[in-house]
Amino acid sequence: MSDALVFVAEVERDFFLTTLFLGSGIADLHQEAQHNQHSLSLTANQAQQLTIEDLRQLILRIVAAKREQLRTQRGNGYPMQFYCWHDELAAQLRFSLVAAQAALPFGCKVRLVPDLSTILASFLSAHHPEEIAWDGLPAVDEEAAYCLDVWQTQL
């Protein structure tokens, strides 16, 4: 097993053990988003060792585990949505969960993508520096509206 797959297995175990935070509804949206958020960072070497399918299977197992946690804590009476995105500036794959009836808590335009692989391909093909230098960041056109690709599924 590659070092990257060992790392992914450790991450998966940690995510499975993390308790799901459940609020009282939309009023607790930001607390849910913050408490349930996780991120995954890779070194350039780890990113080269992993495939889109490796990460897709990881995310789907996490979704299944969180779905089971939700049913254990609240039964079927509190539907939630799991969402995943590539945070390019942080060089991280991130995901979180919030109440199903809530809008996703982003301060930018969101484009829902139907295929998780779209997010994962972007993450794996991105530059994974050991650190990010300010002068290495791309110029931002502040006039253009930023649109974030997000994959979501209902629990």
Report the predicted TM-score, pTM, of the whole model to 2 decimal places: 0.86
- Residue 119 in contact with residue 137, Cβ under 8 Å? no
Percent of the chain with pLDDT over 70: 88
Evaluate whether 84 touches 38 at the Cβ level (below 8 Å): no
Question: Angle 154-46-137 (CA atoms, 0-180°, nearest 5)?
Answer: 80
Q: How far apart are CA 121 and CA 143, in angstroms?
A: 27
Residues 6+ apart with CB under 8 A from 114: 151
At residue 44, the pLDDT reads 86
3-state secondary structure of 35: helix
How far is it, in rounded angstroms, from Cα 58 to Cα 64? 10
Write the pLDDT tens digit of every residue in 31-48. 999 999 999 999 888 988
Residue 131 pLDDT greater than 60, yes or no: no
Instruction: Quote the domain boundaries for residue 93.
Output: 3-154
pLDDT at 127 over 80: no
Structurally, the chain folds into a number of domains equal to 1
4-17: per-residue pLDDT in tens?
A: 888 888 888 888 88
Report how far Cα 90 is from the mean position of its chain's Cα atoms. 12
pLDDT digits (tens, 9 = 90+) for 57-111: 999 999 999 999 999 998 888 899 999 999 998 889 999 999 998 899 998 999 9
Here the tokens at position 44 are: 């350039």
Question: What pLDDT shows up at residue 144?
Answer: 66
